Amino acid sequence: QGILEGVLTLLGEMSSQLIPDSTDEFTILPEYDFIVVGAGTAGCVIANRLTENPKWKVLLIEAGYIETPIMDFPILANYLQFTDANWRFNTMPSQRYCMGMENGQCNWPRGKVMGGSSVLNYMIYTRGNKKDYDNWAKLGNEGWTFDDVLPYFKKIENFTIDEYKDSEYHNTDGYLNIGYAPYHTKLSEALIEANKELGMKYVDYNGKSQIGVSYLQTSLKDGMRHSSNKAYIYPIKHRKNLHVIKMTMVKKILIDPKTKQTYGVEIIKNGRSSTVLSRKEVIVSAGAINSPQLLMLSGIGPKRHLQSLNIPVLKNSRVGFNLMDHIAVGGLTFTLEKPYSINADKMLEHNNLIDYLNYHKGPISIPGGCEALSFHDLTDPNNPDGHANIELLYVSGSIASDSLLRKNFGIREDLYQKIFKPIVDKHSFSIFPMLLLPKSKGRIMLSSADYRGKPLIFPNYFSDPEDLKTIVEATKLAINVTQQPAMMKIGTKLHTIPIPECEPLGFGTDEYLGCMAQHFTLTIYHLSGTCKMGPETDKRAVVDPRLRVHGIKGLRVIDASIMPEVISGHTNAPVYMIAEKGSDMIKQDWGYI
């Protein structure tokens, strides 16, 4: 633990040193053309694209502080959750999921920093499936088929994988770098091989067909994290028409109650409240928890809920409903005879540090220990053009090989001691079997009318029993991968110390694996859907297909919360796409393009 704790102390010190100093090098103007709330994945893209018009003045407001160089080290991704760059949300206690976590609550980290969750994330870059977007369009969202959104996916990327970069699916002059991590363990080679032995193809999952196995395509540049802040704000820092203010909370969106016209925001900076006006629009990009929270605080949301908190209702709307996430079964651990996995303690030793500091290579360049994935359609396993309902994420370390991981997830101490402690000295790794097309939906509610109150989060995982069945099948598939010859050759064994509460069901039975999923319910951090996009006729929609808030003028939501259905992959790439497309819509609506 020595080195890791050193890193944590360093991270803690760095963040506390940053907090008092929030100077921004300009005076905030009383009025801007556009105000963007939240400098996360989406907000940074929008601020960049809108300031391409030199005549528009744009204010980007971020609650968090600056991104620091240590956040660029890919292997440290997990540890950033222990800093003030994390909002540290928790789900409400449950007896159906997160049962193996402290108080039956799952930790839900979110980025509170320039770059938002693109600074805390694992840099895994996946677009999802063609059918995800065709389905969005079928739900009444004109302009959102895969063919419509592909140009925006291409616009984002500077794609660096030689075999694929010339394909019609990719592009090489976008702001964000996409490529493989510069280093792979021998374990990941064996996992890829095992998938091939099972009949899986090696694919460009961001290309023609998603189904198959691959090393992760990542948002790394020269072996370092490439966040939305680095990719989209750094290169345009010289633009005089962009003002960025940090460590500033937007408390409320200002809307005329009679005309329903948005005219600005109320902010709080250094403890002082003030108002900034918008000439054209306010764009809310505060993420899938804070965007619905801010809308509700401003009077847009479910009437009865707002009235119960004495918030005047400007628009009765299903804000906060339709909450979706991807979850995986945690604790699925395998031991290895060969020293091919990652051990957190050894990770930051001399040779690895020298390799990384000199060349940005070696094990430190592995994003949070994640190395490869495979996408499967269990409903149509032999169809290469299927719609993946399962992902297996291959992680070259485990809760046993990095005891801080337990703290990331909030796993109960007694379970850690019993299940994982006995194998801390062994080589071990894990596979996360992940549910990609969840049927269960949750909800976010306000805890109070005060902007400082953390929202109440009800993920409702497994409220649809189908989800539990599917994740059990995924877990069996993951175990099957590890039983292939390539994995046997390196001495892979399933770790079988059972969860005491599930033990009576018989280790490895479907019932046991279901119980395991309910105990070690891991969020994959893909919160989405809470300001659902849909046409006027869709009573559950909060924004229209041009991302304008129904019933309110001059206000859009552009971030992960607009997804009507979560896509079958990790959500960062789709949020970039939504932001690129949303920016073009704003430009079109104001006659700039």
Ligand X SMILES: Cc1cc2nc3c(=O)[nH]c(=O)nc-3n(C[C@H](O)[C@H](O)[C@H](O)COP(=O)(O)OP(=O)(O)OC[C@H]3O[C@@H](n4cnc5c(N)ncnc54)[C@H](O)[C@@H]3O)c2cc1C
526 is catalytic: yes
Q: Which of 575, 577, 580, 583 binds ligand X (CB under 6 A)?
A: 575
Shortest spacing between CB 344 and ligand X, in angstroms: 17
The closest of 343, 348, 335, 395 to 369, measured between CA atoms, is 395
Q: In this chain, which stretch among 90-98, 121-129, 149-157, 416-424 interacts with ligand X, using CB under 6 A?
A: 121-129
Query: What single-letter amino acid sits at 340?
Result: Y
Helices (H), 497-571: 510-519
Q: CB nearer to ligand X: give 122 or 416.
A: 122
Q: CB nearer to ligand X: give 62 or 72.
A: 62
Shortest spacing between CB 571 and ligand X, in angstroms: 4
Q: CB nearer to ligand X: give 109 or 397.
A: 109
Q: Which of 33, 62, 132, 157 binds ligand X (CB under 6 A)?
A: 62
Q: Hey, which residues does 89 pair with through a beta bridge?
A: 108
CA atoms within 13 A on the CB side of 111: 32
Any idea what DSSP says for residue 85?
T
Shortest spacing between CB 531 and ligand X, in angstroms: 10
Residue 58 lies near ligand X (rule: CB under 6 A): no
Shortest spacing between CB 440 and ligand X, in angstroms: 18
Residue 571 lies near ligand X (rule: CB under 6 A): yes
Residue 227 lies near ligand X (rule: CB under 6 A): no
Shortest spacing between CB 436 and ligand X, in angstroms: 12
Q: CB nearer to ligand X: give 295 or 499.
A: 295
Residue 285 lies near ligand X (rule: CB under 6 A): yes
Residue 438 lies near ligand X (rule: CB under 6 A): no
Q: Hey, which residues does 324 pair with through a beta bridge?
A: 528
- Find the Cα–Cα–Cα–Cα dihedral 525, 531, 535, 537, rounded to 10°: 120
Residue with tokens 């949070």: 368
Residue 100 lies near ligand X (rule: CB under 6 A): no
Report the site for ligand X in 462-501 (rule: CB under 6 A).
Answer: none
Q: Are strands 272-284 and 262-269 parallel, antiparallel or unpaired?
A: antiparallel
| DSSP secondary structure of 102-117 | GGG--EE--B-BTTTH
Q: CB nearer to ligand X: give 63 or 502.
A: 63
Tell me the residue nearest to ligand X as measured from the CB.
40
Shortest spacing between CB 297 and ligand X, in angstroms: 9
Residue 184 lies near ligand X (rule: CB under 6 A): no
Q: CB nearer to ligand X: give 441 or 495.
A: 441
CA atoms within 13 A on the CB side of 497: 13
Residue 121 lies near ligand X (rule: CB under 6 A): yes
Environment class of 175 (CB within 10 Å of its CB; exposed 0-12, middle 13-18, buried 19+): buried
Q: Which of 181, 211, 231, 249 binds ligand X (CB under 6 A)?
A: 249
Six token digits for residue 96: 């159906």
Q: Which of 223, 287, 397, 514 binds ligand X (CB under 6 A)?
A: 287
Between CA 156 and CA 120, with CA 78 as vertex, the angle to 5 degrees is 35
CA atoms within 13 A on the CB side of 211: 17
d(CA 520, CA 462): 13
Residue 556 lies near ligand X (rule: CB under 6 A): no
Torsions phi, psi of 479, nearest 5? Answer: -65, -40
Shortest spacing between CB 368 and ligand X, in angstroms: 8
Q: In this chain, which stretch among 203-211, 284-292, 299-307, 317-325 interacts with ligand X, using CB under 6 A?
A: 284-292
Residue 123 lies near ligand X (rule: CB under 6 A): yes
Between CA 256 and CA 268, with CA 262 as vertex, the angle to 5 degrees is 95
Any idea what DSSP says for residue 364?
G
Q: In this chain, which stretch among 283-291, 413-421, 471-479, 500-508 interacts with ligand X, using CB under 6 A?
A: 283-291
Residues 6+ apart with CB under 8 A from 442: 323, 324, 325, 457, 458, 459, 460, 461
Q: CB nearer to ligand X: give 442 or 514.
A: 442
Residue 560 lies near ligand X (rule: CB under 6 A): yes
Residue 116 lies near ligand X (rule: CB under 6 A): yes
End-to-end Cα spacing for the chain: 55
Q: In this chain, which stretch among 103-111, 138-146, 202-210, 438-446 interacts with ligand X, using CB under 6 A?
A: 103-111
Answer for the pair 59, 281: CB distance below 8 angstroms, yes or no: no
Residue 129 lies near ligand X (rule: CB under 6 A): no
Residue 568 lies near ligand X (rule: CB under 6 A): no
Residues 6+ apart with CB under 8 A from 169: 150, 153, 154, 204, 206, 207, 208
Q: Which bin fits 128, alpha (ψ -120 to 50), beta or left (φ > 0)? A: left
Q: Which of 187, 294, 468, 490 binds ligand X (CB under 6 A)?
A: 294
Helices (H), 198-319: 228, 287-297, 303-308
Residue 40 lies near ligand X (rule: CB under 6 A): yes
Q: Which of 111, 331, 397, 534 binds ligand X (CB under 6 A)?
A: 111
- Find the Cα–Cα–Cα–Cα dihedral 7, 12, 14, 20, rounded to 10°: 180
Q: CB nearer to ligand X: give 294 or 541.
A: 294
Shortest spacing between CB 236 and ligand X, in angstroms: 18
Q: In this chain, which stretch among 58-66, 323-331, 453-461, 507-515 interacts with ligand X, using CB under 6 A?
A: 58-66
Q: CB nearer to ligand X: give 71 or 190.
A: 71
3-state helix, strand, coil in the chain (%, to 5): 35, 20, 45
DSSP H or E segment with residue 556: strand 555-557
Any idea what DSSP says for residue 92?
P
Residue 63 lies near ligand X (rule: CB under 6 A): yes
Q: In this chain, which stretch among 28-36, 113-121, 325-333, 386-394 interacts with ligand X, using CB under 6 A?
A: 113-121
Q: Which of 4, 7, 18, 37 binds ligand X (CB under 6 A)?
A: 37
Q: Indicate which residue of 184, 243, 326, 526 is catalytic.
A: 526
CA atoms within 13 A on the CB side of 129: 23
d(CA 469, CA 465): 7
Residue 124 lies near ligand X (rule: CB under 6 A): yes
Residue 60 lies near ligand X (rule: CB under 6 A): no
Q: What are the residues binding ligand X (CB under 6 A)?
A: 37-43, 61-64, 109-112, 116-118, 120-124, 249-250, 285-288, 290, 294, 525-526, 559-560, 570-573, 575
**What residues are labeled active site?**
526
